Structure 1
Amino acid sequence: MAAQNPTGGDPAGLPMPSRNPLPLSASQEAQIRDIYHARVRNACAPEIKGSFFPGSHLTPFPLSPFSVALSGEYALLQVPILPKPSTALALQILHLKKAPSFADCALNRTFTVSFVCRTQLRAMNGCMKAHATPEEHDAAREEWFAKRMERQKERERKAVKKAQQEDFIREWWGLPEKDAETRRKEEEKMRLGERVGGYAARDRKSVAAEERR
Structure 2
Amino acid sequence: MMATATPLPGQSPNSIATPLPSRNPLPLSAGQEQQVRDIYYKRVRTKCADEIREFATCALNKTFTATFVCRPQRRAMNSCMVQYATQDEQDRAREEWFATRDVRKKEREDKETRRKEQEAFHREWWGLDEQGRKILERDRKRNGSGSGVVEGK
Q: TM-score, normalised by structure 1?
A: 0.49
1:163 is aligned, of 116, 122, 125, to 116
- Are 1:130 and 2:134 matched, yes or no? no
Q: Which has the higher contact order (CA 8 A, sep 6+)?
A: 1
Deviations 1:96-150 (A, max 9, x none): xxxxx10110111121110111110000000001111000000000000000111
RMSD: 1.4
Offset at 1:20? Answer: 4.4
1:116–1:35: structure 2 CA closer, same or farther, 3 Å change rule? same
What residue in structure 2 maps to residue 115 of structure 1?
Answer: 68
1:26 aligns with 2:20: no
Deviation at 1:165?
Answer: 1.4
Aligned mates of 2:88, 2:81 — CA distance in 1: 14
How many Å separate the matches in 1 of 2:72 and 2:99? Answer: 38
Aligned pair 1:46/2:50, yes or no?
Answer: yes
Q: Which residue of 1 aligns with 2:128?
A: 175
Query: What one-letter code is carried by the residue in structure 1 that aligns with 2:124?
Result: E
User: Secondary structure of the residue that 2:129 maps to in structure 1?
Assistant: coil
Matches of 2:86 and 2:94, distance apart in 1: 13
Gaps of 5+ in 2: 1-22, 132-153
- The reply to whether residue 104 of structure 1 matches residue 96 of structure 2 is no
Bigger radius of gyration among the two: 2
Question: In the alignment, is the contact (CA less than 8 A) between 2:55 and 2:77 conserved in 1?
Answer: yes
Corresponding letter in the other structure for 2:93:
A
Please tell me whether the aligned partners of residues 59 and 66 of structure 2 are also in contact (alpha carbons under 8 angstroms).
yes
Q: Equivalent residue of 1:21, what SS?
A: coil
Count of aligned residue pairs for this structure pair: 109
Partner Cα distance (2:24, 2:55) in 1: 38
Q: Identical aligned pairs, as a percentage? A: 64
TM-score normalised to the size of structure 2? Answer: 0.67
- Counterpart for residue 35 of structure 1: 39
5+ residue gaps, structure 1, are 1-18, 50-100, 179-213
Report the CA distance shift for 1:20/1:46 in structure 2 as closer, same or farther (over 3 A). closer
Superposition deviation, residue 26 in structure 1: 0.6
Determine helix, strand or coil for the equivalent of 2:63.
coil
